[in-house]
Amino acid sequence: MNKYMNNNTGEMAKYEAVIGLETHVELSTNTKMFCGCALSFGAEPNTRTCPVCLGLPGTLPVINSKAVQFAIKTALALNCSINKSSIFHRKNYFYADMPKNYQISQYNRPLASNGFLDVDMGSYVRRVGITRVHMEEDTGKLIHTGSSGRISESDASIVDYNRAGTPLIEIVTEPDIRTPAEAKEYLIALRNIILYLDVSDCSMEQGSLRCDANISLKPAGAKSMGTKTEIKNLNSFRFIQRGLEYEYKRQAGLLEEGKKVLQQTRHYDHLTDTTSALRLKEEAHDYRYFPDPDLVPLIMDKDAVQDIKREIPELPGEKIKRYLEVFGLPDETARLIASDKDTAQYFDRCANILGPGKLKAAANWITGDFAAYLNKESLKIKQSGISAESLCSLIEMIEGGRISSKIAKSVFEEMAQSKKEPQDIIMEHNLEQVSDEGELSKIIDEVIAANDEVVQQVKDGKDKAIGFLIGQVMAKTKGKANPALVNGIMSKKLKK
Amino acid sequence: MQLNFLTAHKLKKMLEKREVCASDIAASIQESCEKLQPKINAYINFDKSILQKQAEEIECYIAAGGKLHDFTAIPVAVKDNICTHGIKTTCASKILADYVPVYDATVIKKLQEHKYVLAGKANMDEFAMGSSNENSAFGPVKNPLDLQMVPGGSSGGPAAAVCAGMAICALGSDTGGSIRQPASLCGIVGLKPTYGLVSRYGLISFASSLDQVGPITRDVTDSANLLSAISGWDQCDSTSINTGKVSYKDFLVDDIKGLNIGVPKQLMAEGVDSQVADSVNNALEMAQHLGANIEQISLPSLEYALSVFYVIAPSEASSNLSKFDGVRYGYRNMQASTLHQMYRQTRAQGFGPEVKRRIMIGTYCLSSGYYDAYYEKAQRVRTLIINDFKKAFEKYDVLISPTSPTTAFKIGEKTGDPLSMYLSDICTIPVNLAGLPAISIPCGLSSENLPIGLQIIAGTLREDLIFKTAYSLEKAIGFNKFPLHLYE
């Protein structure tokens, strides 16, 4: 955080940031955008190609209808209106990773427009307008020979067209974002929604979620916009925030010195945590957009859009609302569970099995011991091997008094290790709680007889000493004694 | 008559009666090609061993009781912008001089189902840009009827091959007249089908919204049969139309009684040679005798067709041809040391002057600041042209005009003046802009003994009217011109 920025401490910043994001998402369809090639990450170079995605002479594109459905689903989840007719344009520029030297994209008639995403910042909600959602094809990849992988130190480049033609959607926001932290939260929220929709794996590492940011500064409260720069290579949530923070500082510094901000594309370097100019935007390509004559307009059937709308699952925002209002979960727990689709599904299954009385216990397990275990083992909830049914039977045993919560922790650990059912673990190790009053009474009598001194202390009014006696009972029963019962019987006996 | 001057439908009958066999036909074509290729240069790639091998395979197929389709054993010349698997497809360009496709165009697959014979890959103007076949990296094609003259273009090779008996029929492509104009100049039949009727998959694009593959044949019957063979919906071409299976032969009816024919005055205007106009008017009189009603009409927006075409076609071409960059296939300049040098030198050396001219025009028209004034405006005028035709077809069944304003011109006569060259497509270009079907049939000879062509235009998917009219006029005119002198 730097001196110019509004850091949520109530201090007014001198400059207000105006930030807009462009996010590219690779769709996880079976095949590419305009041909039948399989999508694949990490396949042998140039093995997932055909005459169409290689742009061989004479080939023609055909729109992948599944990709269109995925894009519409995403646009609807972002509250966009779907345009009745949209068209594909050609974006013309020469680069060796582009088989045709033009990219099929959408221009002035995109698939969808005019949506929004509410970003929860804790103390306030930022509504970020979605200008448009459009479809396009991805490019191939250039690999520069030589050990550094940098083009300037390489004497040749090799091309892999496996990625060429992968369906992409581009999601463009209005310049509604005001802080780098909001930008980061927007992207986290967007990613979560897309994961809920199951239309992309949204892996920033593998490049299936990529984000460019535009930022300009204006004096706080001013209406006119400043000159913007575009930052590229922001390939993690952290880098987005840090890149924008650096750029904020840099632009504010220039303005303070009375200098101009140049309209530029800048590259973020996470090693130095700085941005540097790529090229002046004025010199940017003239893409010579024009409607692709090889394709016909996409006409959206109302019923088809309705069908897609029905397929949209409950999204994170709605889930949180339900957890808070219907389930009465604490705020933090509700958000934590909803922040991962699989966790939320797991919890919903547990809630369904356990019913309203016990679902909070499930929430506590899922965000507590279970989460800690997954974290330690670097596992996803799906990979844990513990079914919602198993976890629920463990919870039922605790709630029914069959095992103590302390024992439950070790039972859970064994469940995780051996994938056995809790019932079997308890039988195997004879862990069931001892709630037989006669049996407990006998043990308590033994403990009282063996600890005269402590018993005297209790009788003298030193209530805390009773804990030691209970501890002795627990030790004798190896933790299986029902603590509440032991406490009751012990108190009764000592008061005599 | 020599076998190589017969039509496919005649040869089919002879094959059925076992009067000829596949090898006889192939041998006849081979003989004429060996004799005439050095004079006419109709082919870029003609391989007699491939021809013989195909003929032998088909003999076996027929011997084994295989069905005789319309084009079984028929040698077809294929314009060299139509992809043939394993066989060089050059677009008559240095940039694709050694390019071998890894797949067959849809039209080729369809002919393979007929057990056709690929006669060879026919010469053309580079990337189908030209009206004289002088823009070929493999040398110009000569008109078989007069070797001093051009055969027309850009399908000059296919037209010359059919005219000279170097193929029985041919596949060409037509973006602004490239099938009809050479057919006219060579005295044969050329059809541009409705846009979308024939798949473009495998046709190397010039201007995607205008390109269409079509038949070049000796008569109207072969034209109808060849269209039946190559047309049909193709899932690989988003712009293709699903009409179901149509047998165009059924429309070959000798009866135009009551047919309403419009003659657009814009296509009979000044610039049309008087001999051409006279010949077309004679044909119209014949049509009247056969019971057709003839009226002159006006389609005012046609006046702008040439200008519109020379914005839209180069714009699309500038983008379509950007893939030829030396990176993946085709010619690459090996001296270049950077990517951009490689692009520049590869394209500077790989493309010929006319292709470069059109890439420049198109790039300019699509550039920001010029897009609205050129491309956008041209598209709006294109809509006016479409509407003019629509209105005309409310009243008329077909429109008739000359195919080309002149007969074949001398080689070299127009190469220095692109604009006068562009004017030779003035009657054919409006048809492509509106996506309509049109045919050129021969209707007479000039005093220099050069053929004159007549164009019949119909509404979208009204190939039925085209074939009916063309078939009736073909019978009435009785045109027959074979360059037999070449065989003496």
pLDDT in tens, B404-447: 999 999 999 999 888 889 999 999 999 999 999 999 999 999 99
Q: What is the mean pLDDT of residues B205-231?
A: 98
> CA end-to-end span of chain A, whole Å?
66
Q: What is the mean pLDDT of residues A299-312?
A: 95
Please give the structure tokens belonging to residue A30: 């079976």
Q: What is the mean pLDDT of residues B165-184?
A: 98
Give yes or no for residue A351 having a pLDDT over 90: yes
Q: What is the mean pLDDT of residues B17-23?
A: 96
Contact criterion met (CB below 8 Å) for B471 and B436: no
pLDDT value, residue A150: 66
- CA-to-CA dists, residue A409 to A431, A432, B339, angstroms: 12, 13, 63
* Phi/psi of residue B372, nearest 5 degrees: -65, -40
Of the candidates A397, A334, A343, A351, the residue with the CA atom closest to the CA atom of residue A370: A343
If one compares B49 and B289, the residue with the highest pLDDT of the two is B289
pLDDT value, residue A36: 95
How far away is chain A from the Cα of B203, in angstroms, using its nearest Cα?
5
pLDDT value, residue A4: 47
pLDDT value, residue A457: 85
Of the candidates A57, A207, A336, A490, the residue with the CA atom closest to the CA atom of residue B91: A57
Chain A residues close to B103, C-beta within 8 Å: 51, 56
CB atoms inside a 10 Å sphere around CB B301: 20
Comparing B121-125, B267-271, B427-431, B457-461, the range with the smallest average pLDDT is B267-271
Contact criterion met (CB below 8 Å) for B320 and B208: yes
Q: In whole numbers, what is the pLDDT of chain A averaged over residues?
A: 90
Q: What is the CATH number of domain A437-495?
A: 1.10.10.410
If one compares A273 and A5, the residue with the highest pLDDT of the two is A273
B59-72: buried (b, 16+ CB within 10 Å) or exposed (e) per residue? bebbeeeeebbbbb
**Is B323 one of the annotated active-site residues of the chain?**
no
- Considering CB atoms only, which of A60, A94, A159 is closest to B322? A94
Of B79, B115, B121, B142, the catalytic one is B79
- Considering CB atoms only, which of B83, B238, B328 is closest to A58? B83
- Per residue in A61-101, pLDDT tens? 999 999 999 999 999 999 999 999 999 999 999 999 999 99
Of the candidates B253, B196, B249, B188, the residue with the CA atom closest to the CA atom of residue B224: B249
Please give the structure tokens belonging to residue B111: 């002919």
Q: Report d(CA B221, CA B283) in Å as an integer.
A: 19
| 3-class state of residue A38 by DSSP | strand
pLDDT value, residue A279: 60
**Is B79 one of the annotated active-site residues of the chain?**
yes
Q: What is the mean pLDDT of residues B171-196?
A: 98
DSSP string, B188-222: SEEEEPPTTSB--TTBPPSSTTT--EEEEESSHHH
Q: Report d(CA B211, CA B457) in Å as an integer.
A: 17
Q: Report d(CA A51, CA A164) in Å as an integer.
A: 12
Tell me whether strands B451-458 and B398-402 are parallel, antiparallel or unpaired.
Answer: antiparallel
Q: Report d(CA A104, CA A83) in Å as an integer.
A: 18
Of the candidates B79, B72, B54, B78, the residue with the CA atom closest to the CA atom of residue B9: B72
A385 Ramachandran zone, left/alpha/beta (phi>0; psi -120 to 50): left
pLDDT value, residue A188: 96
Chain B residues close to A51, C-beta within 8 Å: 102-103
Q: In order of start, what are the domains of chain B with their CATH numbers?
A: 3-256+458-487 (3.90.1300.10), 303-379 (no CATH)
Of the candidates A26, A25, A7, the residue with the CA atom closest to the CA atom of residue A15: A7
- Per residue in A413-460, pLDDT tens? 899 888 889 888 888 877 777 777 888 888 888 888 888 888 888 888
Q: Report d(CA A211, CA A227) in Å as an integer.
A: 20
Break chain B down into helix, strand, coil percent, rounded to 5: 45, 15, 40
Q: What is the mean pLDDT of residues B458-477?
A: 98
CB atoms inside a 10 Å sphere around CB A356: 10
Give yes or no for residue A11 having a pLDDT over 50: no
- CA-to-CA dists, residue B67 to B64, B115, B229, B230, B367, angstroms: 9, 9, 15, 18, 54
Report the amino acid identity of residue B301.
S
Q: What is the mean pLDDT of residues B316-330?
A: 97
Of the candidates B83, B22, B79, B77, the residue with the CA atom closest to the CA atom of residue B54: B22
Contact criterion met (CB below 8 Å) for B29 and B166: yes
- Considering CB atoms only, which of B322, B324, B368 is closest to A286? B368
Residue of A52, A100, A101, A155 to mutate, testing the B interface (most B Cβ within 10 Å of its Cβ): A101
- Considering CB atoms only, which of B81, B324, B367 is closest to A286? B367
Contact criterion met (CB below 8 Å) for B179 and B155: yes
Q: Report d(CA B10, CA A132) in Å as an integer.
A: 61
How far away is chain B from the Cα of A72, in angstroms, using its nearest Cα?
21
Tell me whether strands A85-86 and A141-144 are parallel, antiparallel or unpaired.
Answer: unpaired
pLDDT value, residue A496: 60
User: Does the beta-carbon distance from A90 to B319 stay under 8 Å?
Assistant: yes
B225-251: buried (b, 16+ CB within 10 Å) or exposed (e) per residue? bbbbbbbbebebbbbbbeeeebebeeb
Q: What is the mean pLDDT of residues B235-253?
A: 96
Element (H, E) at A294: none
Q: Report residue B160 CA to chain centroid gap.
A: 11
Contact criterion met (CB below 8 Å) for A30 and A40: no
User: Does the beta-carbon distance from A60 to B99 stay under 8 Å?
Assistant: no
Q: In whole numbers, what is the pLDDT of chain B averaged over residues?
A: 97
pLDDT value, residue A484: 80
Nearest-by-CA chain B residue for A94:
B322
- Per residue in A250-271, pLDDT tens? 999 999 999 999 998 999 998 9
Domain boundaries in chain A? 15-304, 314-429, 437-495
pLDDT value, residue A440: 83
Q: Report d(CA A323, CA A338) in Å as an integer.
A: 9
Please give the structure tokens belonging to residue B103: 């797949």
Tell me whether strands A157-160 and A274-280 are parallel, antiparallel or unpaired.
Answer: unpaired
Chain B residues 80-139 with a CB less than 8 Å from chain A:
81-83, 89, 91, 96, 99, 101-103, 105
| 3-class state of residue B422 by DSSP | helix
Only one residue has tokens 């804990």, namely A467
Give yes or no for residue B229 having a pLDDT over 70: yes
- The CB-side HSE value for A496 (13 A sphere, CA atoms) comes to 9
User: Does the beta-carbon distance from B239 to A290 stay under 8 Å?
Assistant: no
- CA-to-CA dists, residue A212 to A150, A229, A240, angstroms: 21, 10, 9
- Per residue in B92-151, pLDDT tens? 999 999 999 999 999 999 999 999 999 999 999 999 999 999 999 999 999 999 999 999
pLDDT value, residue A3: 44
Of the candidates B41, B4, B10, the residue with the CA atom closest to the CA atom of residue B24: B4
DSSP secondary structure letter of residue B375: I
What is the C-alpha R_g of chain A? 30
pLDDT value, residue A282: 43
Q: What is the ipTM of this complex?
A: 0.96
